[in-house]
C-alpha cells in the first residue's frame, strides 16, 4: 500500500543507492508501461544516462536523468525498490531491472502489477496529465483549505482524491482522521476553522512521523491507529473498540468514541 511516506522512503532509498551511475541496460515488463511508452523508448531514454537526482509528487517517484528526462514509478499496492549486486538477488516479481556500469542493479518489483512505469520529458506536463493536486506534505495551510473548498463528499474520500491532494491513500487517511479526531464519514463541507486546523496539523504530523519511521507501522508511536487496523482492536486513545466500515467502497477503521463530527470538539 505505498502512499506518500512509503514513496518518500523509496525516493530516499534511490538517492542513497542509485545516483550518478551510468545505466548500461534496462529490462522492462511492457505490461506495466504507461500509455505511449514502449520498452524501446524507455531503453532509449535511460541507456547511457545517470540518475542525477530524484523527485516526488504524491505517490509518484521521479528519477531525474542527466538528459533531463525522467523515469516515473508508481508503486500500485505492492511495489518496492531493491538495489543489489548479483543478478540472482533480483526480487521475485521484478518488472523493471536497471543495470548500472558498476555492476549493481536497481529493481522495481511489483507483484500485483498495479503499478505503472513511465517516462516524462516534462514533469509539469506529466503532473497535469495525471491531474495531481498539491503534494500533501508540500501544501501550506491556506492552499490546503483552498484545495478542499467546494467539495462536499466524505472527508476520507476527499483526502484520498489525488486530484485534490496527492499522496494520501486508504491507510493514512484513516490515521490522519484518527489523529484529527474527526469521523471519516463526515462531510468535508462541514469543516470549520478549528476542524481544518486539526486536520491540517494531523496530516502533517502523521505524514512526517511516518516518513521518519520509514513507513514501517511497527515503528509508529503507540498513539497510532495503523498498527491496529482490525475490527474489535483496542483504541489507543480511549481503550474502546475499533470499528470498520465501508466509505466510498474502501475499508475504513475508526474509533466511534474518539472521532467526532465537525464542530463537536
**Of the candidate residues 49, 54, 69, 170, the single one contacting DNA (CB under 7 A):** 170
- Alpha carbon of residue 21 to chain centroid: 26
Residue 183 binds to DNA (criterion: CB under 7 A) = no
For DNA (CB under 7 A), the number of binding residues is 35
In the bound state with DNA, the residue whose beta carbon lies nearer, of 147 and 202, is: 147
How many other C-beta atoms can be found within 10 angstroms of the C-beta atom of residue 68? 12
First CA to last CA across the chain, in angstroms?
Answer: 31
Strands in 23-28's sheet, in edge-to-edge order, are 23-28, 94-100, 105-110, 79-84
In the bound state with DNA, the residue whose beta carbon lies nearer, of 114 and 265, is: 114
Site for DNA in 198-237 (CB under 7 A): 229
Catalytic residue among 11, 45, 57, 59: 59
Q: Catalytic residue at 70?
A: no
Catalytic residue among 243, 250, 256, 260: 250
- Report d(CA 83, CA 10) in Å as an integer: 11
**Of the candidate residues 63, 134, 169, 236, the single one contacting DNA (CB under 7 A):** 169
* Residue found under cell 542527466: 66
Residue 81 β-bridge partners: 108
Q: Catalytic residue at 59?
A: yes
Q: Catalytic residue at 3?
A: yes
In the bound state with DNA, the residue whose beta carbon lies nearer, of 68 and 125, is: 125
Q: With contact defined as beta carbons under 8 Å apart, do 75 and 2 qualify?
A: yes
CB of 57 to DNA, least distance (A): 10
Full DSSP string of 73-129: EE-TTTEEEEEESSGGG--TTEEEEEEETTS-EEEEEETT---EEEEES-HHHHHHH
Which contiguous run of DSSP H or E holds residue 25? strand 23-28
Residue 134 binds to DNA (criterion: CB under 7 A) = no
**Of the candidate residues 61, 117, 137, 154, the single one contacting DNA (CB under 7 A):** 154
Per CB under 7 A, residues contacting DNA are: 1-3, 31, 58-59, 74, 76-77, 92-93, 111-114, 130, 150-154, 157-158, 160-162, 169-171, 188, 229, 248-251
Catalytic (active-site) positions: 2-3, 59, 250
Amino acid at each position: 500500500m505505498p502512499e506518500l511516506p512509503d514513496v518518500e522512503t523509496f525516493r530516499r532509498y534511490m538517492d542513497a543507492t542509485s545516483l550518478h551511475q551510468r545505466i548500461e541496460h534496462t529490462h522492462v515488463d511492457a505490461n506495466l508501461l504507461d500509455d505511449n511508452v514502449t520498452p524501446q523508448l524507455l531503453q532509449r531514454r535511460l541507456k547511457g544516462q545517470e540518475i542525477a537526482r530524484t523527485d516526488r509528487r504524491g505517490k509518484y517517484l521521479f528519477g531525474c536523468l542527466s538528459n533531463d528526462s525522467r523515469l516515473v514509478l508508481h508503486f500500485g499496492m505492492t511495489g518496492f525498490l531493491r538495489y543489489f549486486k548479483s543478478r540472482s538477488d533480483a526480487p521475485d516479481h521484478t518488472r523493471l531491472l536497471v543495470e548500472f556500469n558498476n555492476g549493481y542493479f536497481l529493481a522495481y518489483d511489483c507483484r500485483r502489477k498495479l503499478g505503472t512505469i513511465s517516462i516524462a520529458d516534462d514533469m509539469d506536463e506529466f503532473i497535469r496529465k495525471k491531474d495531481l493536486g498539491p503534494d500533501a506534505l508540500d501544501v501550506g495551510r491556506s492552499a490546503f483549505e483552498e484545495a478542499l473548498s467546494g467539495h462536499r463528499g466524505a472527508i476520507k474520500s476527499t483526502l484520498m482524491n489525488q486530484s485534490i491532494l496527492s499522496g494520501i491513500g486508504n491507510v493514512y487517511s484513516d490515521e490522519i482522521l484518527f489523529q484529527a479526531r474527526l469521523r471519516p464519514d463526515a462531510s468535508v463541507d462541514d469543516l470549520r476553522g478549528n476542524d481544518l486546523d486539526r486536520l491540517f496539523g494531523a496530516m502533517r504530523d502523521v505524514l512526517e512521523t511516518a516518513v521518519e519511521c520509514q513507513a514501517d507501522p511497527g515503528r509508529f508511536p503507540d498513539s497510532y491507529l495503523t498498527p491496529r487496523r482490525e475490527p474489535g482492536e483496542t483504541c489507543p486513545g480511549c481503550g474502546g473498540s475499533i470499528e470498520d466500515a465501508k466509505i466510498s467502497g474502501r475499508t475504513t477503521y475508526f474509533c466511534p468514541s474518539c472521532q467526532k463530527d465537525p464542530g463537536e470538539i
